[in-house]
């Protein structure tokens, strides 16, 4: 349960206030033993400030380093922003559940994300595009409040170029230069063709958005067992001991952050639980 | 087989346990309450004291006998020894090319818990389940747990807010002790009927003057416990309680209790099963050394559920009280296969406005068809 030092071997600026840190665990033995699945997270420690949960964004087959895409929002992430290549952070993990990617081979993957919170689904998209032939259609639906919230602009363009891959973007408050859709993310669902029996939906973003998207998908005939969400909760221990991450009967750090929707639906539909 | 030790046998027990290397912790009177602290002999016990407890009220009162354990439970629980309110987990030290992290090694003392009640043994078993029996184990708790001697006392009197009988957690200690005593004060005689729960308990008992209990003495002790069971201050109907609370997340009663609840978190601090903690980094030596310090936390604080963006996910008193009570009585069952409440009544007594978990449950039950 103690963090192990990891060196920042690369720091990439994604967009304003978002960086991808490539971390390499210093201890060779621990580095070699580290295996994770997309959707899992690490606790990243900034010396003297604290630990925060951050999803692992790199490919599980890439054993050379671990990518973490961090949005700078507060104390710990604020210190991370000031760190440079060669600096050291602490790392412990991987924790939590993962996306059902192995189980979804051969099926269509619908990725629904909203706001700025799409880090956990980036791992899904990268995983599918790297193994493009093993999956059916990939449909990426992304909704944001205002066009300035569009992060990963370049990635969206790159992903759209893959075969059998669609990217749909929408905003609530379009400006004059916006050339995509207008409206909340659920309106995008009306625009894509779905093969409900053969699709798996993986969602991450504001909870209201996920609730609405799940409702819409269920109405379109996607079975509830095919809906997955990644949930954010305050986390201190990441191992089920501190109590912070509870969502009804679940500890998000243990049985989440990725949940099959029906497993948490009851709690999810009562904000404040 | 039961045994009998007399009043002086309690001091003999204290001496034997001390000689076996145990530090004794037990009930003692301080600042108008019975609290747990280091003790050395029966002179430190609340001799001749009892307590009066009600919603939001606690008062010590002299008894008309010299009973050692003639009170219910006070504001403290044993969790302060196993899950200390403040504990350093690890340290980090700056080095030329980064930092090293050193796990803090702990060497807690061998502790003899003197006078643990049945509900408290249930609470210990529940914390064992939470902190020792999942994928991740709390190392401090593990070490301290392995160094305990538990001297239980069956309750001779129920407190005004007790409802252990409803929670199947008392008043007779059924497991989880090395030695259990039942105190009998009958006229001129003052003695204890003793049962050993473990070989260690047997060994300690054998080392103090004792006799085989007569059927009469056992009968007296049983009657003491039976009387306690019949005089519970409160009761809680646990029938299908998980469904009851799962189905009533929108019950109007939550709004009513939220009008009174101050979200002070007292209920979580006094509860013997509440285990939530948080961590803070403490830096020293001009930032060259850092410590990860764990402290008790409460689901009643705004920060507890804070995430960037939406902010506190339980921003209302309603959502926080509902989280706490639903956790204690319902979600705990799904999480750990047991209730999170043992009916000790502390949360009722120590709530500044007397909010009562049994009353709230009854109101929700009453309000459902
Ligand atoms: C499973 C999981 C995966 C995550 N993955 C990523 C990711 O890949 N990239 C990324 O940028 N962010 C991610 N987050 C969110 C990230 O953890 C928070 O942004 C971060 O904790 C903020 O910390 P801070 O000290 O900078 O902010 P402050 O505002 O100073 O936060 C204070 C404290 O609040 C808590 N906190 C605040 N926001 C969150 C939050 N959203 N989730 C959990 N705890 C929070 C933390 O305990 C933090 O220490 C993830 C969160 C979870 C639960
Ligand atoms: S129920 Fe009582 S003790 Fe608990 S937080 Fe509310 S006011 Fe405080
Ligand atoms: S919830 Fe109240 S009565 Fe139940 S164990 Fe905790 S403090 Fe005791
Ligand atoms: S983060 Fe501590 S219990 Fe989940």
Eight-class DSSP state of B329? I
Percentage with pLDDT > 70 across chain A: 99
Spatial separation of the C-alpha atoms in residues A239 and A250, rounded to whole Å:
12
pTM: 0.95
Q: Kindly list the distances between the CA atom of residue B236 and the CA atoms of B164, B232, B245, B357, in Å, as whole numbers in the listed order.
A: 9, 11, 14, 8
Of B170, B168, B70, the C-alpha closest to B120 is: B170
Test B279 with A237 for CB contact under 8 angstroms. Answer: yes
Is B272 near ligand 3, meaning CB less than 6 Å away?
yes
Spatial separation of the C-alpha atoms in residues B326 and B360, rounded to whole Å:
11
Spatial separation of the C-alpha atoms in residues B251 and B272, rounded to whole Å:
27
Give residue A190's pLDDT: 85
* Chain A partners within 8 Å of B307 (Cβ): 232-234
Q: Is the pLDDT of residue B13 over 70?
A: yes
Q: Which of the four pLDDT bands, split at 50, 70 and 90, describes residue A156? A: confident
Q: Is the pLDDT of residue B220 over 60?
A: yes
Name the closest ligand to CA B329: 3
* Chain B partners within 8 Å of A246 (Cβ): 299, 323, 327, 331
Nearest CB among A48, A115, A254 relative to B283 is that of: A48
Q: Decide if B75 contacts B350 (C-beta within 8 A).
A: yes
* Chain B partners within 8 Å of A251 (Cβ): 335
Spatial separation of the C-alpha atoms in residues A236 and B88, rounded to whole Å:
14
| Sign of the Cα pseudo-torsion (B317, B320, B326, B329, in order) | negative
Averaged confidence pLDDT in chain A: 93
Is B299 near ligand 3, meaning CB less than 6 Å away?
no
CA angle centred on A64, ends A59 and A69, rounded to 5°:
50
Spatial separation of the C-alpha atoms in residues A254 and A165, rounded to whole Å:
32
Give residue A15's pLDDT: 80
Nearest CB among B136, B304, B318 relative to A1 is that of: B136
Give residue B367's pLDDT: 63
Is B343 near ligand 3, meaning CB less than 6 Å away?
yes
pLDDT tens digits, one per residue of B320-338: 999 999 999 999 999 999 9
Between A58-62, A66-70, A251-255, the lowest mean confidence (pLDDT) is in A58-62
Most A CBs within 10 A among B258, B295, B313, hence the mutation to make, goes to B313
Residue that wins the pLDDT comparison between A179 and B147 = B147
Spatial separation of the C-alpha atoms in residues B133 and B338, rounded to whole Å:
13
Tokens of B293: 């310090």
Spatial separation of the C-alpha atoms in residues B27 and B69, rounded to whole Å:
8
Q: Kindly list the distances between the CA atom of residue B237 and the CA atoms of A249, B121, B274, B361, B363, in Å, as whole numbers in the listed order.
A: 21, 21, 21, 8, 11
Of A42, A91, A47, the C-alpha closest to B97 is: A47
If one residue of B168, B238, B322, B341 were mutated to test the ligand 3 pocket, choosing by the most ligand atoms within 8 A of its CB, it would be B341
Q: Is B251 on the interface with A (CB under 8 A)?
A: no
pLDDT tens digits, one per residue of B222-268: 999 999 999 999 999 999 999 999 999 999 999 999 999 999 999 99
Q: Decide if B209 contacts B4 (C-beta within 8 A).
A: no
Between A15-24, A100-109, B34-43, B339-348, the lowest mean confidence (pLDDT) is in A15-24
Cα(B300) to ligand 2 centroid in Å equals: 8
Test B281 with A242 for CB contact under 8 angstroms. Answer: no
- Is residue A157 left, alpha or beta, with left meaning phi > 0 and alpha meaning psi from -120 to 50? alpha
Cα(B114) to ligand 3 centroid in Å equals: 21
If one residue of A50, A253, A255, A257 were mutated to test the ligand 4 pocket, choosing by the most ligand atoms within 8 A of its CB, it would be A253
Spatial separation of the C-alpha atoms in residues B14 and B23, rounded to whole Å:
9
Give residue B290's pLDDT: 97
Pairing of strands A165-171, A181-182: parallel
Residue that wins the pLDDT comparison between A176 and B322 = B322
Long-range contacts from A221-225, C-beta under 8 angstroms, 24+ separation: A221/A194, A221/A196, A221/A197, A222/A194, A222/A196, A223/A196, A223/A197, A224/A261, A224/A262, A224/A265, A225/A260, A225/A262
Q: Is the pLDDT of residue B91 over 60?
A: yes
Q: Which of residues 219-238 of B touch A (CB under 8 A)?
A: none
Percentage with pLDDT > 70 across chain B: 99
Which chain B residue has its CA at the smallest distance from A269's CA? B249
Query: A165 phi and psi, to 5 degrees?
Result: -130, 130
pLDDT tens digits, one per residue of B105-163: 999 999 999 999 999 999 999 999 999 998 899 999 999 999 999 999 999 999 999 99
Query: Between B253-260 and B317-326, two packed helices, what is the crossing angle to 10 degrees?
Result: 110
Residue nearest to ligand 3 atom 6, measured at CA: B271
| Sign of the Cα pseudo-torsion (A89, A92, A97, A103, in order) | positive
Q: Is the pLDDT of residue A28 over 60?
A: yes
What's the rounded mean pLDDT across residues B18-43?
Answer: 97
SS3 of chain A: helix, strand, coil, percent, to 5: 25, 30, 40
Averaged confidence pLDDT in chain B: 96
HEC secondary structure over B89-111:
EEEEEEECCEEEEEECCCCCCCE
ipTM of the predicted structure? 0.93
Nearest CB among B275, B307, B310 relative to A243 is that of: B275
Q: Is the pLDDT of residue A116 over 80?
A: no
Give residue A148's pLDDT: 81
- How far away is chain B from the Cα of A79, in angstroms, using its nearest Cα? 14
pLDDT tens digits, one per residue of B275-318: 999 999 999 878 899 999 999 999 999 999 999 989 999 999 99
Strand, helix or coil at B296?
Answer: strand
HEC secondary structure over A209-232:
HHHHHHHHHHHCCCCHHHEEEECC
Which chain B residue has its CA at the smallest distance from A76's CA? B281
Ligand 1 atom nearest A50 alpha carbon: 49
What's the rounded mean pLDDT across residues A110-117?
Answer: 84
Residue that wins the pLDDT comparison between B232 and A15 = B232
- How far away is chain A from the Cα of B289, in angstroms, using its nearest Cα? 8
Give residue A145's pLDDT: 85
Q: Is the pLDDT of residue A117 over 90?
A: no
B118, B120, B126, B131 alpha-carbon torsion, rounded to 10°: -140
Q: Which of the four pLDDT bands, split at 50, 70 and 90, describes residue B187? A: confident
Give residue A16's pLDDT: 82
What's the rounded mean pLDDT across residues A110-122?
Answer: 83
Test B305 with A237 for CB contact under 8 angstroms. Answer: no
Q: Is the pLDDT of residue B368 over 50?
A: no
Ligand 3 atom nearest B163 alpha carbon: 3
């Amino acid at each position: 349960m103690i963090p192990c030092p990891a060196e920042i071997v690369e720091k990439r600026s994604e967009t304003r206030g978002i960086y991808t840190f490539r971390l390499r665990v210093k201890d060779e033995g621990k580095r070699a033993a580290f295996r994770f699945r997309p959707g899992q997270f690490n606790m990243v420690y900034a010396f003297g400030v604290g630990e925060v949960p951050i999803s692992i964004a790199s490919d599980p087959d890439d054993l050379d380093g671990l990518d973490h895409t961090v949005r700078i929002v507060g104390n710990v992430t604020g210190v991370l922003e000031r760190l440079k290549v060669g600096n050291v952070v602490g790392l412990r993990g991987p924790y939590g559940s993962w996306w059902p990617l192995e189980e979804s081979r051969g099926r269509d993957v619908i990725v629904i994300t909203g706001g700025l919170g799409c880090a956990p689904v980036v791992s899904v998209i990268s995983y599918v595009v790297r193994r493009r032939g093993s999956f059916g259609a990939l449909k990426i639906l992304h909704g944001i409040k205002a066009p300035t919230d569009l992060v990963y602009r370049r990635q969206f363009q790159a992903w759209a170029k893959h075969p059998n891959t669609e990217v749909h973007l929408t905003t609530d408050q379009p400006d004059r230069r916006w050339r995509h859709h207008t409206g909340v993310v659920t309106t995008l669902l009306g625009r894509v063709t779905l093969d409900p029996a053969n699709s798996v939906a993986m969602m991450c973003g504001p909870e209201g958005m996920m609730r609405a998207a799940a409702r819409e998908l269920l109405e379109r005939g996607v079975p509830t067992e095919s809906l997955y969400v990644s949930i954010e909760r305050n986390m201190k221990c990441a191992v089920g001991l501190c109590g912070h991450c509870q969502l009804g009967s679940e500890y998000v750090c243990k049985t989440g952050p990725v949940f099959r929707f029906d497993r948490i639906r009851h709690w999810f539909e009562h904000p404040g639980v | 087989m039961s045994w009998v030790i007399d009043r002086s046998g309690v001091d003999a027990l204290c001496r034997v346990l001390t000689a076996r290397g145990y530090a004794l912790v037990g009930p003692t009177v301080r600042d108008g309450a019975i609290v747990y602290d280091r003790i050395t002999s029966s002179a430190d016990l609340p001799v001749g004291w009892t307590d009066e407890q009600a919603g939001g009220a606690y008062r010590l009162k002299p008894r008309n006998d010299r009973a050692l354990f003639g009170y219910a439970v006070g504001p403290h629980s044993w969790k302060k020894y196993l899950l200390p309110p403040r504990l350093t987990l690890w340290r980090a030290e700056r080095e030329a090319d980064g930092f090293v992290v050193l796990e803090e090694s702990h060497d807690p003392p061998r502790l003899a818990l003197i006078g643990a009640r049945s509900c408290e043994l249930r609470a210990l078993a529940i914390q064992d389940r939470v902190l020792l029996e999942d994928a991740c184990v709390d190392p401090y708790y593990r070490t301290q747990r392995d160094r305990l001697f538990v001297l239980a006392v069956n309750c001779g009197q129920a407190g005004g807010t007790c409802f252990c009988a409803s929670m199947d957690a008392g008043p007779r200690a059924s497991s989880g002790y090395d030695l259990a005593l039942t105190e009998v004060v009958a006229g001129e005689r003052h003695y204890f009927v003793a049962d050993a729960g473990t070989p260690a308990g047997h060994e300690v008992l054998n080392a103090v003057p004792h006799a085989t209990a007569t059927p009469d003495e056992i009968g007296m002790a049983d009657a003491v416990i039976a009387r306690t069971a019949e005089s519970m201050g409160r009761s809680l109907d646990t029938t299908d309680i998980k469904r009851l609370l799962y189905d009533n997340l929108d019950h109007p009663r939550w709004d009513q209790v939220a009008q009174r609840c101050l979200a002070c978190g007292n209920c979580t601090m006094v509860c013997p099963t509440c285990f939530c903690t948080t961590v803070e980094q403490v830096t020293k030596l001009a930032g060259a050394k850092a410590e990860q310090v764990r402290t008790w936390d409460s689901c009643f604080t705004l920060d507890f559920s804070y995430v960037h963006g939406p902010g506190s996910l339980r921003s209302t008193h309603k959502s926080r009280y509902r989280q706490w009570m639903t956790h204690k009585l319902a979600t705990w069952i799904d999480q750990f296969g047991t209730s999170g409440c043992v009916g000790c009544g502390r949360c009722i007594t120590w709530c500044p406005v007397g909010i009562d978990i049994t009353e709230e449950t009854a109101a929700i039950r009453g309000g459902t068809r």
